[in-house]
Amino acid sequence: MIVDEAHRLGGSTDQVARFKLGQGLCEAAPYFLMLSATPHQGKTDAFHRLVSLLDAEAFPDISSVTRDRVQPYVIRTEKRRAITAERNRRTWNLTWPDGEEINRVVFSGKEAKQTPTARHLTLEDSRIRGIAMRLPRFAPGQPVSVVTISGIPDEIKGLWSLWRIGIATMDWNRHRIMPLFLADDGKIFTPTARHLWDRLLTVTPSVRGHLVVDDAINAFDRLSQIAEEHGRSIYDELIQEHRLRLNREREKSEYAFDARHKIIERIGLPQVRDYRLNLLRQEEQSWYEELERKAQVYPEMVPLLIIRVEGGDHE
């Protein structure tokens, strides 16, 4: 069920006809999608009624409506971030939000080989990486689509997922995207995970059904554990990159403080030198304290997409 201008369903109270209509629709439909350019119109009670149509248990009262709790239920696109993409035979023509146009673009390795004159955009491009960073998070218990994908063997069956592994510090953030494929026999196949990602960038999968409730939760839990294990190497690389960056900053700053210290000791009256040296020591102490804060790292592992693959699509 898809409802446009869905903010109208919130109504002025929970007794108005439009809200009761929304309750009836969401109870009758297995899937409920609400579209609105203005879901929150400044009234928290109306917005609470609106999100309660999506999950009444998750939003029992107004106090439950928080940014973190609402985020998994909302996919938000701002006009300043929207990208126009037009198909041109085997390639795409893109128009970025700032008006820049890029023609003859492809996204998969196979397409790049077929059209060598095209521009191959990957996650190495900061703008493409930025789009991936803004993908909505996959919430635990969210239905998992069961799909078939043309061009892959029938024996490829299992859970495919996409994860964002990263670290955040006071002034520095780094992320990497990790595809993961868990076959039905319990084995992890990294090349297959990348191949499926490549196919998903090229073709539209056919949805055959969904894993719901317990099956969806079990799939999420299994993949989360495996993603944590396989994402460890990525996390360690990001930590090492962060430490090297801090070491370079430390060496440059210590050299600068040492040079300033020597200059102050050679110039001025003793009282003036002592005063300037004291200021320099205070500045250096503040810098060391800030460096310690920068060294604090917060890990991040975010599920972006989970699907179950049931082989190829031969229709």
208: left (phi over 0), alpha (psi -120 to 50) or beta: alpha
Model pLDDT for residues 119-174, shown as the tens digit of each residue: 998 877 777 766 666 665 677 778 899 999 998 999 999 999 999 999 888 777 88
The tens digit of pLDDT for each residue in 36-63 reads 878 877 778 888 888 888 888 878 888 8
Residue 101's identity, in one-letter code, is E
- Average model confidence (pLDDT) across the chain: 86
CA gyration radius for the chain?
26
**Per-residue pLDDT at 78 exceeds 60:** no
Coil, helix or strand for 211?
strand
Residue 280, pLDDT score = 92
Q: Rounded to two decimals, what is the model's pTM?
A: 0.59
Residue 12 has pLDDT above 90, yes or no: no
pLDDT on residue 315: 55
User: Domain spans of the chain?
Assistant: 2-73, 79-132, 136-315
Residue in 301, 289, 21 with CA at minimum distance from that of residue 137: 301
pLDDT at 28 over 90: no
